[in-house]
Amino acid sequence: MKWVLALVAGLIALPSFAPHSATKPIGAPYSWPTWAMPFGTDHLGRDVLSRMLHGGRPLVLTSLAAAAAGVLLGAAVGLAVALTKRQMLMWPLDAIAAVPPTLVLLLTLTAMPDRTGLVLAVAIAGAPLAARVTQAAAAQVVGRAHVEIAIARGENWAWLLGREILPLVGGTVLADAGMRFVSSVHLVAAAGFLGLSVSDSDWGLLIVEALPGAPLQPWALLVPVLGVALLAVSSNLFADRVARRSRGMLG
């Protein structure tokens, strides 16, 4: 499954290899593919391939940042609930969890329509699930006999958290981070699709722009659709694999 990591790294590096600009027209609108333009041009005559290559990096980086922020926030809350047994700490995240992620995204972007807002929105949408996963894993670990015995012999918080609990929760949190990355990709691409994009060659934006002209030049639509699908499916398969492996770790 290393190829998934290679794919993600590749998407970050690729803009440097784009043959043309992402914003300047290089041919007639809706040109069909040629050797020079393997996927043809879009409605303004821009090179579809170059726009794809430019759009991968912001999609991946924004999703990574949002997933990391969401997992950190969620894991902190989940851990706090498991350790203090105060379910009320979870209420704000439970309330957010009731709202479909797309709407959390839209609400935050209405108030804060920039890249920070996008990262924040996606992080907030992902935090409730991360919190629940962490809480469940941590609650199980906290009840284990070796943790109780460590408490009984008077270990301090740093040891309990850092040596007894986190090493056994970490795998689950990491596996969950993979899942959060997948849903972050969904949401970031969706923001682009809704015209709330953060770059001018966002894959979601490419899709919505190509939609009206699809009968004339289907490649301009098909390529970004396949791009999003490929990234989402492969990172989901990867996350699923990681999750399966981490489940076998508590022995």
Partner 1 sequence: MITRLATGAALLAVLSFLVFVGVELLPGDPVTTRLGPTATPERVEAARHQLGLDRPVLVRYGEWASGLLSGDLGRSATGKPVSEMLADRVGNSALLAGISLTLLIPLSLGLGLLAATRRVVSAGALVLASVPEFVLAVGAVLLFAITLRWFPAVSLIPAGSSPLAHPSALVLPVLSLLAVGMAYAIRVISSAASTVLRSPHVEFMRLNGIPVLRTAVIPAVLPVAVQVWLVTGVSLVGGGVLVEKVFGYPGIGELLVVSVQSGDLPVVQALVLILGGAMLLALLLADIAIRFLTPRLRTAS
Partner 2 sequence: MKPLVELSNLSLSADGRPLLDGVNLTIAPGEAVGVLGPSGSGKTTLALAVLGHLRPGVRHVSGQSYVDGHPMLPSPPPGVRGGVVGYLGQDPGLLLNPYAKVSADLPLSRVGLSTSLVGRYPHQLSGGQQQRVALAIALARQPRLLVLDEPTTALDVLAKTEVLTELRRLRDSGVALLWISHDLDTVDSLVDRVFTMDGSAPTRSAIPRTPSTSDGPIALRASGLHAAHGSHRVLNDVDLDVREGECLAVLGASGVGKSTLARCLVGLHKPSSGAVSGSDIQLVPQNPAESLHPRQDVRTALVRPLRKIRGMRRPYDAEVHRLLDAVGLPAEFASRLPGELSGGQRQRVALARALAAQPKVLVCDEITSALDASTQAGVLSLLGELRQRHGLAVVFITHDAQVAAAVSDRVLVLVNGRVAVTGRTDDLLARPEDLPALLLEERPCRT
232 touches, from partner 1, partner 2, none (C-beta below 5 to 8 Å by class): partner 1
- Which residue from 37, 48, 71, 196 is in contact with partner 1, where contact means CB under 8 A? 196
Q: CA 161, 181, 112 angle in degrees (round to 5)?
A: 100
Number of residues that bind partner 2 (CB under 8 A): 18
Does 207 engage in binding with partner 1 (CB under 8 A)? Answer: yes
C-alpha 79: how far from chain center: 22
Does 146 engage in binding with partner 2 (CB under 8 A)? Answer: yes
DSSP type of residue 161: I
- Which residue from 38, 113, 143, 162 is in contact with partner 1, where contact means CB under 8 A? 113
Phi, psi of 102 (to 5 degrees): -60, -35
The pair of three-digit structure tokens given for residue 160, joined into one six-digit string? 């309990």
Does 204 engage in binding with partner 1 (CB under 8 A)? Answer: yes
Q: How far is the CB of 83 from partner 2 (least distance, A)?
A: 15
Token pair 């030049």 is found at 217
Counting beta carbons within 10 angstroms of the beta carbon of residue 152, is it exposed (0 to 12), middle (13 to 18) or buried (19 or more)? exposed
Does 195 engage in binding with partner 1 (CB under 8 A)? Answer: yes
Q: What is d(CA 125, CA 127) in angstroms, rounded to the nearest whole number? A: 6
Counting beta carbons within 10 angstroms of the beta carbon of residue 182, is it exposed (0 to 12), middle (13 to 18) or buried (19 or more)? buried
Does 237 engage in binding with partner 1 (CB under 8 A)? Answer: yes
Residues in contact with partner 2 by CB under 8 A are: 144-146, 148-155, 163-164, 167-168, 249-251
Q: Interface with partner 1 by CB under 8 A: which residues?
A: 91-92, 94-96, 98-104, 106-114, 117, 120, 182, 185-186, 189-190, 193-196, 204, 207-208, 211, 214-215, 218, 221-222, 225, 228-229, 232-233, 235-237, 240
